[in-house]
């Protein structure tokens, strides 16, 4: 009996997540038509990659608490911030439409890591307690005609 109830509840949440994702895609498409794609293609690709990463991480059990967190003291931003169990994760999303050049995650070089660590320190000042934290990277490949290929690199670098 409990297993049946659990399966029904789980099925409901999975359906709700799919419906939410579909709704966001429809709204993004409508917004794109209305603004006539005023943003450059690479920014649109990056936004779609962040959206794919967001839902991917949610499906893994992350509890997301911030998107595109910026600090006035840094040129960088934290793409996603979420809890993976008791660990606060600062997540950098790298999106590519091809694998021809270099792996997407390779774009998080030491300078970028330093910038992200600085923004993360500011974010941590606003969090109660002293939670464990880590830096993750999500690479997203949006190749034409294929489903998004998403890879999570947990604890990708030290902050």
**Dist. CA 5–CA 47, nearest whole Å:** 37
What the block records as the tokens of 121 is 């320190």
In the chain, where the domains are located: 1-38, 40-157
What confidence score (pLDDT) does residue 131 get? 96
What confidence score (pLDDT) does residue 34 get? 64
Q: Which residues of 110-123 are buried (b: 16+ CB within 10 A; e: fewer)?
A: eeebebbbbbbeeb
Higher pLDDT, 9 or 127: 127
pLDDT of 3 higher than 80: no
What the block records as the tokens of 88 is 């606060």
What confidence score (pLDDT) does residue 92 get? 97
Nearest to 81 by CA among 22, 134, 16: 134
pLDDT of 137 higher than 80: yes
What dotted CATH number matches 40-157?
A: 3.40.1350.10
In terms of average pLDDT, the best of 24-28, 36-40, 41-45, 86-90 is 86-90
The Cα angle at residue 109 between residues 107 and 110, in degrees rounded to 5: 170
The rounded radius of gyration (Å) of the Cα atoms in the chain is: 17
Higher pLDDT, 39 or 51: 51
**Tens digits of residue pLDDT in 59-114:** 999 999 999 999 888 788 999 999 999 999 999 999 999 988 889 899 999 999 99
What the block records as the tokens of 153 is 């690199």
pTM for the whole structure: 0.75
């Amino acid at each position: 009996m409990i297993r049946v109830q659990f399966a029904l509840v789980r099925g409901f949440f999975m359906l709700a997540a799919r419906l939410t994702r579909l709704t966001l895609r429809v709204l993004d498409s409508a917004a794109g038509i209305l603004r006539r794609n005023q943003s450059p293609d690479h920014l649109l690709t990056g936004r779609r990659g962040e959206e794919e990463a967001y839902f991917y991480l949610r499906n893994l059990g992350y509890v997301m608490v911030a998107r595109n967190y910026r600090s006035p003291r840094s040129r960088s931003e934290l793409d996603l911030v979420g809890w993976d169990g008791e660990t606060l994760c600062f997540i950098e999303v790298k999106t590519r439409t091809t694998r021809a050049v270099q792996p997407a995650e390779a774009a998080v070089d030491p300078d970028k890591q330093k910038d992200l660590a600085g923004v993360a320190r500011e974010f941590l000042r606003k969090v109660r307690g002293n939670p464990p934290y880590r830096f993750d990277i999500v690479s997203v490949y949006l190749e034409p005609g294929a489903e998004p290929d998403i890879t999570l690199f947990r604890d990708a670098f030290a902050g």
